[in-house]
Amino acid sequence: MDIRSITAAQSYAHARPATQADPGTSGAAQGLRATFQDFAATLKHSEEVANAAMIGQADPHALVQALAQTELAVETAVVVRNKVVEAYQEILRMPV
Protein backbone atom coordinates (compact mmCIF):
# COMPACT_ATOMS: atom_id res chain seq x y z
CA MET A 1 0.00 0.00 0.00
CA ASP A 2 1.29 3.43 -0.96
CA ILE A 3 1.91 6.02 1.77
CA ARG A 4 -0.31 8.49 -0.07
CA SER A 5 -3.26 6.13 0.05
CA ILE A 6 -2.74 5.55 3.78
CA THR A 7 -2.63 9.30 4.40
CA ALA A 8 -5.71 9.81 2.25
CA ALA A 9 -7.58 7.07 4.11
CA GLN A 10 -6.66 8.57 7.48
CA SER A 11 -7.66 12.04 6.36
CA TYR A 12 -10.94 10.72 5.03
CA ALA A 13 -11.66 8.92 8.30
CA HIS A 14 -11.09 12.11 10.29
CA ALA A 15 -12.96 14.40 7.93
CA ARG A 16 -16.26 15.89 8.92
CA PRO A 17 -19.17 14.44 6.92
CA ALA A 18 -20.52 16.93 4.39
CA THR A 19 -24.05 16.62 5.74
CA GLN A 20 -23.18 17.84 9.24
CA ALA A 21 -23.12 21.52 10.09
CA ASP A 22 -19.74 23.06 10.60
CA PRO A 23 -19.38 23.95 14.29
CA GLY A 24 -17.35 27.04 13.42
CA THR A 25 -19.82 28.59 11.02
CA SER A 26 -18.50 31.21 8.67
CA GLY A 27 -19.32 34.89 8.78
CA ALA A 28 -21.62 34.50 5.79
CA ALA A 29 -23.69 31.86 7.54
CA GLN A 30 -24.00 34.00 10.65
CA GLY A 31 -24.91 36.98 8.49
CA LEU A 32 -27.69 35.01 6.83
CA ARG A 33 -28.92 33.80 10.19
CA ALA A 34 -29.04 37.37 11.49
CA THR A 35 -30.85 38.50 8.36
CA PHE A 36 -33.51 35.81 8.75
CA GLN A 37 -33.94 36.66 12.42
CA ASP A 38 -34.32 40.37 11.56
CA PHE A 39 -36.90 39.49 8.91
CA ALA A 40 -38.90 37.40 11.38
CA ALA A 41 -38.66 40.15 14.01
CA THR A 42 -39.94 42.72 11.50
CA LEU A 43 -42.93 40.54 10.65
CA LYS A 44 -43.68 39.88 14.31
CA HIS A 45 -43.45 43.58 15.19
CA SER A 46 -45.79 44.50 12.35
CA GLU A 47 -48.31 41.90 13.47
CA GLU A 48 -48.20 43.18 17.05
CA VAL A 49 -48.71 46.78 15.92
CA ALA A 50 -51.60 45.73 13.65
CA ASN A 51 -53.27 43.86 16.52
CA ALA A 52 -52.82 46.87 18.80
CA ALA A 53 -54.24 49.20 16.14
CA MET A 54 -57.35 47.03 15.77
CA ILE A 55 -58.23 47.47 19.43
CA GLY A 56 -57.29 51.16 19.44
CA GLN A 57 -54.06 50.96 21.43
CA ALA A 58 -51.66 51.95 18.62
CA ASP A 59 -51.16 55.14 16.71
CA PRO A 60 -52.22 54.91 13.04
CA HIS A 61 -48.86 56.41 12.08
CA ALA A 62 -47.07 53.53 13.83
CA LEU A 63 -49.26 51.06 11.94
CA VAL A 64 -48.43 52.63 8.57
CA GLN A 65 -44.73 52.68 9.43
CA ALA A 66 -44.75 49.02 10.52
CA LEU A 67 -46.60 47.98 7.37
CA ALA A 68 -44.12 49.89 5.19
CA GLN A 69 -41.21 48.15 6.93
CA THR A 70 -42.87 44.78 6.43
CA GLU A 71 -43.54 45.51 2.77
CA LEU A 72 -39.90 46.43 2.23
CA ALA A 73 -38.71 43.29 4.03
CA VAL A 74 -40.99 41.03 1.97
CA GLU A 75 -39.95 42.69 -1.29
CA THR A 76 -36.29 42.22 -0.36
CA ALA A 77 -36.88 38.56 0.47
CA VAL A 78 -38.61 38.03 -2.88
CA VAL A 79 -35.74 39.66 -4.77
CA VAL A 80 -33.18 37.51 -2.96
CA ARG A 81 -35.23 34.39 -3.63
CA ASN A 82 -35.48 35.27 -7.33
CA LYS A 83 -31.71 35.76 -7.55
CA VAL A 84 -31.08 32.39 -5.88
CA VAL A 85 -33.48 30.65 -8.26
CA GLU A 86 -31.87 32.40 -11.22
CA ALA A 87 -28.40 31.30 -10.09
CA TYR A 88 -29.60 27.72 -9.61
CA GLN A 89 -31.12 27.67 -13.10
CA GLU A 90 -27.88 29.03 -14.53
CA ILE A 91 -25.96 26.22 -12.84
CA LEU A 92 -28.36 23.68 -14.32
CA ARG A 93 -27.70 25.08 -17.79
CA MET A 94 -23.95 24.54 -17.50
CA PRO A 95 -22.57 21.72 -19.63
CA VAL A 96 -21.09 18.82 -17.74
Please indicate, yes or no, whether the overall pTM of this predicted structure exceeds 0.85. no
Q: Where are the domains of the chain?
A: 24-93
More confident of the two residues 78 and 22 = 78
56: left (phi over 0), alpha (psi -120 to 50) or beta: left
pLDDT, tens digit, for every residue of 25-82? 667 778 888 988 999 999 999 999 999 999 989 889 999 999 999 999 999 999 999 9
Res 95 pLDDT > 60: yes
Give the residue with greater pLDDT, 21 vs 50: 50
Strands, E, within 1-96: which ranges?
none
Q: What is the pLDDT of residues 68-80, one digit of tens each?
A: 999 999 999 999 9
